[in-house]
Structure 1
Amino acid sequence: MMPGRLPGSSTLIVYLAVLLLLPIVVPSVPLATEIAIMTLATLSCHLLLVYGPLLSFGQGAFFGIGAYLGGLYAIGVGPAAPFGAVIAILVGGLGAAVAALLVGMVALRRIAGLGGHGAGGVTFLMLTFAVAQVAYFVAYNAPQLTGGENGLLNIPRLSAGLSASDFTLTDPTRFYVFCAVVVGVVVVLVDRFINSTAGQAFRAVGENERRASAIGYDVFTLRLTLFVAAGAIAGISGALYAMFLGLVPLSAIDLIQSERIVIMTALGGTGSILGAIVGTICFVLGSDLLSRVWPHWPFALGAAIVIVVFFARGGVLGLIENVLRALRGSRQQSETVE
């Protein structure tokens, strides 16, 4: 298996099991819901890093676009709209995908050259950094649409059924179930596609872009498709976040949001899709627990992230795998001696 390859059925089972157990093992259902929602944003960055390979600081912008569009739709249709929650996340995902398409056509073509090579360098990172900044200032300067610095307020939690009484999402546990189902569906669809015959092209680009181009793959088109898909996933995450909070704060689209997404991706590791949920759990849960005991908790969290990045190259997931491998080797050695 190539580094970063998406998992087979066994890893999918582990992934879905984690979603099932999350509200039981974390301190509260809302915290579990936040982890599930942010896992999608981390997954979008994971896909870009592994199969681009592209390091993007624009995922926070697509997250925010999805949040604003999903929130505006929810406000417009009201809580009685049939399948309102489902349509809201589709609106957020589609809007973010369109934005990613426009950004990708300019950014990737601008720096990739005719062969589509070298798109994942510093220039691309800086262009997506600029996109994140532009998105923030557009949201800040359009208070009639986004609420400006006050945020987009009074977003209702829509129903996931035919009417307001069918699977209403006002209950925290029901809303978590809805978010977990959305995350599970996205993970399964992404896994099935990447591990399909068509997905081999993305794996080829992730391994060696020039070799992929030499055997006939259109690297630019593949990267653009991946960038749009990642933008859509981030947009779905943003729309869920808007319904979760009942508002869209301006911080949902600022540069710090993009930084958090990149940090969660690096923290979990890119060796497997499980890294997305592991990194999100470590970051969100660590932030929550540390903030309760120390007012300067970002310093401790930052130090922990630096330690993981420097001393656990595969992230937390890679560290766990190395420990399990060492324990398994030690047990086998002891059995051989006996």
Structure 2
Amino acid sequence: MNGGALLEGMGDRLSTLRGRVTPDAAMDKITWFRAGGTADALFQPADEEDLAAFLKVVPHDIPVTVVGIGSNLLVREGGIRGFVVRLSAKGFGEVQAIGDNRIRAGAATPDKRVAATALEAGIGGFHFYHGIPGGIGGALRMNAGANGVETRERVVEVRALDRAGAVHVLSNADMGYAYRHSAAPKDLIFTSAIFAGEPADRDAIKAAMDAVQHHRETVQPIREKTGGSTFKNPEGSSAWKEIDKAGCRGLMIGGAQMSPMHCNFMINTGTATGYDLELLGETVRARVLENSGIRLAWEIRRIGAFKPGHEIDEFLGQML
């Protein structure tokens, strides 16, 4: 189905929404990889109330896919069926200190803004967000972490909407956090969260943030078209070490490359397609599996359909 047919089939059910609906939306303009296919339609709700109204009128047989700021997202060339929901900074990007060393942040808030708010308020424990190139919604979903700290250590409660538009408030325990994972229901759309830190000296917070930034600039290709860490660290090792041992540092397929600087970062050198990027990733997984017997798990989220003739098997079909 294309965007025009999808919206025509919805009739006037979207007429009261205040957000923006874009048919046949180019997802390469959203992802940091700057690659990928189109979505049948993109909806950017004005606020939580508008999002709830949207969810209540979209039939459950029409897929609804939620994306964040696109920093760790790979969209396949065949595109995404149904609606893609992207929360706007205007409606979901507010962040403020609310007392008792707590911070409330919307799901579209960049992680770096949460770190900056914590610094201004003298709240420690959020310096790690200064080095994560993503948004709070994604951080909540994948338990984002860096520099020895994870999101689960800061979360108090999370506000979300289900597929029917009903509001849910989840505790830290309800989120079911593990390494780079949350067990919260997949159909929940996180809209905001409350986090807790501890009192800290602003100079100490700033020094910790500066250390995070220095580390990123020193070892990561932050000025490239990348999606951050490509694979999760396997138990007892680091993804980059296994990639390096398998001879994949700097490996290229088409316009996609495993960074020579940090070989767990996949980059678009300028001409990479979604196919190039995913094929490179699966080639790396296959070589690591063959070399060490380790099955690397993707940290980058891959969504959408394969373009006919460009299907890619996990581990290239290798079944060691």
Determine which structure has greater relative contact order: mean sequence separation of CA pairs < 8 Å that are 6+ residues apart, divided by chain length.
Answer: 1
**Structure with the higher fraction of residues in strand conformation:** 2
TM (norm. structure 1) is 0.26
TM (norm. structure 2) is 0.27
